[in-house]
C-alpha cells in the first residue's frame, strides 16, 4: 500500500484516537449497539402531544455541530437522513467527571465520526424537531476529513462533485451526497419488481457459470483467464444465453438470471466492461408474445419506481405505457435513411454506405452493413419505446428464421430515447441450422471480426435432444436504471464503475476540505 504523509487534521485525528484510549474509551468498540429508530421514522411520526419517541436509540455520523459551552447541537446523519441532536454536558455526564463532554465531545470528536445517541424527541424553542441526548457513545472515529458542502446566499461551495472522485470514492459520495442513495435504492426496487413479475408467471430464477470454456451467447470480445489446476484457458462470460437454453432443453418451462457479464471492449457513458444483464427464456412462446410481456413489465417497473408511466429522460417525455410501436428494421431504414435495402447484397450495401457517408471495413458482411446504416440514421429518432423487429439473419446467429422471410429473423430490439434497452428472439431450436450459423460466424472471424461467435458444440448437442419453441429476452439492468432514474451516465448507476488506475493521491487530497 502506498505510504503518504498525513496532513495536520489527519494527524490530529490519529492523536485523538490515542487520547481516547488513554482515557479508557475505545474509539472502535466491538459491542453491539442496539438501534431502535431512524431519523425519518422520528420525523414522520413524532407527536408532541403524545410525547412518543421517549426512549430513542439512534446511531449515525456527525455532519455538523455548534458547541456553546455546556450545551451543544450536532447534526446526525443516519441511513435515512439527518436530525438535530441537543447535547447538554450535565445530561451525558451526570456525575462529577465531565471529561466525556469537555474532552471527548468538544475536543476529540470530529465531523465524520460515528456515534450512538440515546435520549428522547422534543421540539426546541425555535420549533425544530430534535433529540435530547441522555447518553453518547463513540462507535467509530473517522481518520479522514470529509468534504463539507457549504451554502451561502443560495450558492454551493466545496461540493463533492468531480465525477472521477465520486466514482472512485463512492463511499464518500454516498456520505456527502445523500441523493445518490436514491438511485441505488431505485435500482434495487427495479430488480425486486422484475422478480415479483416473473414469479407471478411461474418463471424460475437460476444461476449459470461465469467462467466458461467457450464465450457464447453474444457477439462480443471476451476477457480471457487461465485455470491453473486444469491448465486450460477460460473466459469470463459475455452472456448466459446458451446455458439458460440448455435448461429449457432439460424441461424447465421458464428460467431467468440476473447475470454479471463481462465484455473486453470500450468504456463510455453507456458501457462498462462489467455489467448486469437479465436474461429470460420461456418455452412455447415466440417474440410476438415477448413484446406483450415486455410492455407490461416496463409499465409495472415505471409505476413502482416513479408512480406513473410517464417519465422524463434527458429532457424527453417518455411514456412506458403499452402498446409500443413495432417497426421492422428495413422499414425503419426506408423511413429514416430514405433508402430501400431489401434484398441487397454485400457490394450494393457497401455502395449505399458510401453514398450515406458511413464508414465501413472489409470485415463487415451484409448484416453488419445494414446495422451500420440503421445505427447511423435510425436509432436517434426512436425516442418513445419502439420495437425494431425482423433483423438480418447474419447478425442474429441464435435466432429462428422469420416465418415469412428466410432472409430475416424473428428478433426485436427495444429502443428508448435513442438507445437499445432489450434484445429478444424467437429462439433457434433447429440444431442443423444452428451449426450452420455457427460456421458462418467462423467465416466472419476469419475475415477479422473479433466479435464473431465461437462454435459451442455442446450447445448444438443439447439442441439435438430437442428444445421446444422458446422466446428469449436480454435486458440491461444498468441502462434500465439509467432510464428510470434519468441518469446520464452508466457510472451513476454502478456503485463501483471501472476506472483507470489512480495515478497519484493529489486528487484525493483535493477532495478533503477543512471543517
Angle (deg, nearest 10), helices 329-337 and 366-377:
50
C-alpha cell at 33: 449497539
**Residue 237, helix vs strand vs coil:** coil
Residues of the chain with CATH 2.40.50.140: 8-146
CATH number of this structure's domain 179-324+384-493? 3.30.930.10
**Residue 232, helix vs strand vs coil:** strand
CATH number of this structure's domain 8-146? 2.40.50.140
Q: Where are the beta strands (DSSP E) in 69-215?
A: 71-78, 81-88, 114-123, 129-140, 150-152, 155-157, 204-205, 211-212
Residue 481 burial (10 A CB sphere; 0-12, 13-18, 19+): buried
Phi, psi of 206 (to 5 degrees): -135, 175
What's the confidence (pLDDT) of residue 148?
75
Grouped pLDDT means (10 residues each) for the chain, 515 residues: 80 97 96 95 96 96 94 96 96 92 95 97 96 97 87 63 92 92 97 98 97 88 95 95 97 98 91 96 98 98 97 97 97 97 94 95 90 97 98 89 94 97 96 90 75 84 98 97 96 94 60 46
CA angle 110, 113, 118 (to 5 degrees): 110
State the Cα–Cα distance between residues 155 and 159, nearest whole angstrom: 10
State the Cα–Cα distance between residues 71 and 239, nearest whole angstrom: 60
What's the confidence (pLDDT) of residue 156?
55
Residues of the chain with CATH 3.30.930.10: 179-324+384-493
What's the confidence (pLDDT) of residue 513?
47
What's the confidence (pLDDT) of residue 437?
85
Kindly write down the DSSP assignment for every residue of 31-42, as one continuous string: S-------HHHH
| Sign of the C-alpha dihedral computed for residues 493, 495, 498 and 499 taken in this order | positive
**Residue 225, helix vs strand vs coil:** strand
Amino acid at each position: 500500500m502506498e505510504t503518504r504523509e498525513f496532513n495536520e487534521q489527519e494527524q490530529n485525528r490519529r492523536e485523538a484516537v490515542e487520547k481516547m484510549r488513554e482515557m479508557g474509551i475505545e474509539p472502535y468498540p466491538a459491542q453491539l449497539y442496539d438501534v431502535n429508530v431512524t431519523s425519518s421514522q422520528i420525523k414522520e411520526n413524532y407527536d408532541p402531544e403524545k410525547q412518543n419517541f421517549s426512549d430513542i436509540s439512534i446511531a449515525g455520523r456527525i455532519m455538523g455541530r455548534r458547541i456553546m459551552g455546556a450545551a451543544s447541537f450536532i447534526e446526525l446523519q443516519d441511513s435515512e437522513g439527518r436530525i438535530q441532536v441537543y447535547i447538554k454536558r450535565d445530561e451525558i455526564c451526570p456525575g462529577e467527571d465531565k471529561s466525556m463532554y469537555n474532552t471527548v465531545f468538544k475536543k476529540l470528536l470530529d465531523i465524520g465520526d460515528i456515534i450512538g445517541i440515546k435520549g428522547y424527541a422534543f421540539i426546541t424553542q425555535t420549533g425544530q424537531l430534535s433529540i435530547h441526548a441522555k447518553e453518547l457513545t463513540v462507535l467509530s472515529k473517522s481518520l479522514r476529513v470529509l468534504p463539507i458542502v457549504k451554502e451561502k446566499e443560495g450558492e454551493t461551495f466545496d461540493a463533492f462533485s468531480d465525477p472521477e472522485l465520486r466514482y472512485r470514492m463512492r463511499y464518500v459520495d454516498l456520505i456527502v451526497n445523500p441523493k445518490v442513495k436514491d438511485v441505488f435504492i431505485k435500482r434495487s426496487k427495479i430488480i425486486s419488481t422484475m422478480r415479483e413479475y416473473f414469479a407471478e408467471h411461474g418463471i424460475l430464477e437460476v444461476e449459470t457459470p461465469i467462467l466458461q470454456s467457450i464465450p457464447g451467447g453474444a457477439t462480443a470480445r471476451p476477457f480471457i483467464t487461465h485455470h491453473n489446476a486444469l491448465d486450460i484457458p477460460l473466459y469470463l462470460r459475455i452472456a448466459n444465453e446458451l446455458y439458460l437454453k440448455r435448461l429449457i432443453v432439460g424441461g424447465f418451462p421458464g428460467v431467468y438470471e440476473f447475470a454479471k457479464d463481462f465484455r473486453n471492449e470500450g468504456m463510455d457513458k453507456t458501457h462498462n466492461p462489467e455489467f448486469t444483464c437479465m436474461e429470460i427464456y420461456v418455452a412455447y412462446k415466440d417474440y410476438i408474445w415477448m413484446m406483450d410481456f415486455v410492455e407490461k413489465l416496463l409499465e409495472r417497473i415505471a409505476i413502482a419506481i416513479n408512480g406513473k408511466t410517464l417519465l422524463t429522460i434527458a429532457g424527453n417525455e417518455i411514456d412506458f405505457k403499452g402498446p409500443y410501436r413495432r417497426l421492422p428494421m428495413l422499414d425503419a431504414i426506408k423511413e429514416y435513411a430514405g433508402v430501400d435495402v431489401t434484398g441487397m447484397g454485400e457490394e450494393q450495401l457497401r455502395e449505399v454506405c458510401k453514398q450515406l457517408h458511413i464508414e465501413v471495413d472489409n470485415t463487415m458482411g451484409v448484416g453488419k452493413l445494414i446495422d451500420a446504416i440503421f445505427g447511423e440514421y435510425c436509432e436517434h429518432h426512436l425516442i418513445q419505446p419502439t420495437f425494431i423487429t425482423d433483423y438480418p439473419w447474419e447478425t442474429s446467429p441464435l435466432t429462428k428464421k422469420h416465418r415469412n422471410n428466410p432472409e430475416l429473423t424473428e428478433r426485436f430490439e427495444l429502443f428508448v430515447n435513442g438507445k437499445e434497452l432489450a434484445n429478444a428472439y424467437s429462439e433457434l431450436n433447429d440444431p442443423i441450422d444452428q451449426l450452420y450459423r455457427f460456421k458462418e460466424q467462423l467465416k466472419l472471424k476469419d475475415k477479422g471480426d473479433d466479435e464473431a461467435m465461437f462454435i459451442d458444440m455442446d450447445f448444438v448437442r443439447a439442441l439435438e435432444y430437442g428444445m421446444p419453441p422458446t422466446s428469449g429476452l436480454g435486458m440491461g439492468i444498468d441502462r434500465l436504471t439509467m432510464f428510470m432514474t434519468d441518469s446520464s451516465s452508466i457510472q451513476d448507476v454502478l456503485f463501483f464503475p471501472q476506472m483507470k488506475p489512480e495515478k497519484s493521491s493529489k486528487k484525493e487530497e483535493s477532495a478533503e476540505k477543512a471543517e
